[in-house]
Structure 1
Amino acid sequence: MRTDATTESGAPGHDVLISADGVRISAVHHPDAARGLCFVVAHGFTGSWRRPKVAAVMAGLHRHGGVVGFDFRGHGASGGASTVGDREVLDLDAAVAWARRLGYRRVATVGFSMGGSVVVRHAALYGGVDAVVAVSAPSRWYYRGTPPMRRLHAAIDHPVGRFVIRTALHTRVSARRWSPIPAAPKDVAARLSPIPLLVVHGDSDTYFPIDHPHQLYAAAREPKELWIEPGLGHAENAVGPELVERMAQWVGEHVAER
């Protein structure tokens, strides 16, 4: 359902996409006239394409091609409730399909934290993309080894915590437990090949320590690359312009080879 037609002038166009299970997904397109490469950006938990840090990442990527940003279910202006990485693959699939309808010949997904797990699972289960970049992504579920992750699990597992997340962070979390439990990123990473995978992680990440990127990288097949970034914290809030530029260049080089 189109709410604001995408422009050809370089100005962003807004859209409301519909996921395969009927959830309305708020999305934005920053066009590239050549329609060669499009980056589809998947934000982290409690994020949105309207958030300044996500917008900054999108602006950096836009120097190298078109960009599609979207709000996962339960986030921002999208409908539904967050399943914290399970059904979100359907939201990403709707955004990738939109990029294809817009005429892009190459599509790369770039995900952060929860979004990083989603881009890996989406490429493994659905395909249809030309490169994948997973930043600060967990390799496995139910991780509680750091204080931030213990606090997060305590919040999403309790009605009061979900109320706080909804009111303070504007994110609606589903009260339903996963059933069945979706395959973890590390368990499906091998299916990405021959899609190139770049795993990016900071050695100062306070949510997921570096055994997560090493586990994800080890599970994947070639072509793959692992960057452990000195001093980098967690997800889009920690990523600066220089790293965005390097990731965009990596994508450009690898989609050109396919």
Structure 2
Amino acid sequence: MKWMRRFAVGLVAVLALAYVMVLGAMYLFQRDFQYDRSGRMFALSETKLDRAELVSIPSSDGSQLAAWYQAPAAGMPLILYFRGNAQSFSREHERYEAFVADGYGFLAFDYRGFPGSPGEISERNILADGLAAFDWAEAKGFPILLWGRSLGSGPATYVAKEREAGALLLESPFDSAVSVGMDRYWFLPVGLLMFDQYPVDQWIKDVAEPVFVAHGTADRTIGVQHGQRVYTLAPNPDGLWIEEGAGHGDLWDRGIWEQAKPFLARHSVP
């Protein structure tokens, strides 16, 4: 019996040590799990954006953000696009091509630490970069519509809370990064470990702009329940599109632009 007790105590000790090591690794390398900084920034010459320009946006602490900008057609607004957490904003040039084909202007950019913009990735920096992009765009004098995809739903919602825009569109949003983390790592104290928590569920309560939410039911990166909750919490909900069977990266190919245009058109006049 003694050997069984010793074995049990030893097993518990090994499991406890392994758990502590997992906690330590998740704490130290969490931003490597949370953000994908790989890839490259495309050149405008690789796209159909023949009238867009590469611009540099000054952010906090003197950082410079790489961005593409094109003014809208007469009487149209500008879409400020907050990209997700993978690679560079420039890889989504098909979206910007569709925006300008329908007369919208756009501004899209890399947060600090992603391929086009040097610096350190953190929630604080990403939120500051979002505000800097809005202020740069606002100075152009056009009405602004906010579009946040995935990770971008965090800074887009925060900017909507802090600034005045015409509308807020959230594509595959989360209610908080902690909530998403708990979906994956239910066995870890995510709320205690996570640096960058993006409490969208709190920010959205102070968003006066009309809100449209799009999500796919087969999204395994950010479950559809997150988008549904964000929409429920929005003070001014104005459209919910839940696409059956769509995953995290499917909504553009499944027609989100056609779904979004009526919403954006309703709020294009300041």
Task: Tell whether the structures are fold-level matches, with TM greater than 0.5.
Answer: yes
Query: 1:81-111 CA distances to partner (integer Å, 9 max, x unpaired)?
Result: 222x44312212222222222231x101111
SS of aligned partner of 2:103: coil
- Highest RCO, 1 vs 2 (Cα 8 Å, sep ≥ 6): 1
Give the paired residue count: 214
Query: 1:44-98 CA distances to partner (integer Å, 9 max, x unpaired)?
Result: 00232221xx111111222231011111111121021222x44312212222222
Q: What is the identity, as a one-letter code, of the residue corresponding to 1:231? A: G
Q: Answer yes or no: is the 8 Å Cα contact 1:135–1:199 preserved in 2.
A: yes
In structure 1, C-alpha distance between the alignment counterparts of 2:150 and 2:266, rounded to whole Å: 24
Q: Answer yes or no: is the 8 Å Cα contact 1:64–1:248 preserved in 2.
A: no
In structure 2, C-alpha distance between the alignment counterparts of 1:50 and 1:102, rounded to whole Å: 21
Shift of the alpha carbon at 1:177? 6.4
Residues 49 and 141 (structure 1 numbering): CA distance in 2 closer, same or farther, change over 3 Å?
closer
Query: 1:99-248, aligned counterparts within 5 Å?
Result: 99-104=137-142, 106-124=143-161, 126-142=162-178, 143-145=180-182, 178=195, 184-193=199-208, 195-235=209-249, 238-240=251-253, 242-248=255-261
Pick one of 37, 41, 53 that aligns with 2:77. Answer: 37
Residues 130 and 46 (structure 1 numbering): CA distance in 2 closer, same or farther, change over 3 Å?
same
Aligned residue number for residue 49 of structure 1: 89
Q: What is the identity, as a one-letter code, of the residue corresponding to 2:214? A: V
Superposition TM-score, scaled by structure 2 size? 0.71
Any runs of at least 4 consecutive aligned residues in structure 1 with deviations exceeding 6 A, and if so which? none
In structure 1, C-alpha distance between the alignment counterparts of 2:198 and 2:150, rounded to whole Å: 16
SS of aligned partner of 2:240: strand
Aligned-pair Cα RMSD in Å: 2.5
Q: Which runs of 5+ in 2 are unaligned?
A: 1-48
In structure 2, C-alpha distance between the alignment counterparts of 1:67 and 1:140, rounded to whole Å: 27
Pick one of 97, 104, 118 that aligns with 1:79. Answer: 118
Pick one of 127, 132, 136 that aligns with 1:94. Answer: 132
Percent of matched pairs sharing the same residue? 21
In structure 1, C-alpha distance between the alignment counterparts of 2:198 and 2:221, rounded to whole Å: 20
SS of aligned partner of 1:198: strand
Shift of the alpha carbon at 1:221? 0.7
Query: 1:31-55 CA distances to partner (integer Å, 9 max, x unpaired)?
Result: 324263000111100232221xx11
SS of aligned partner of 1:87: helix
Of Structure 1 and Structure 2, the greater helix share is in 2
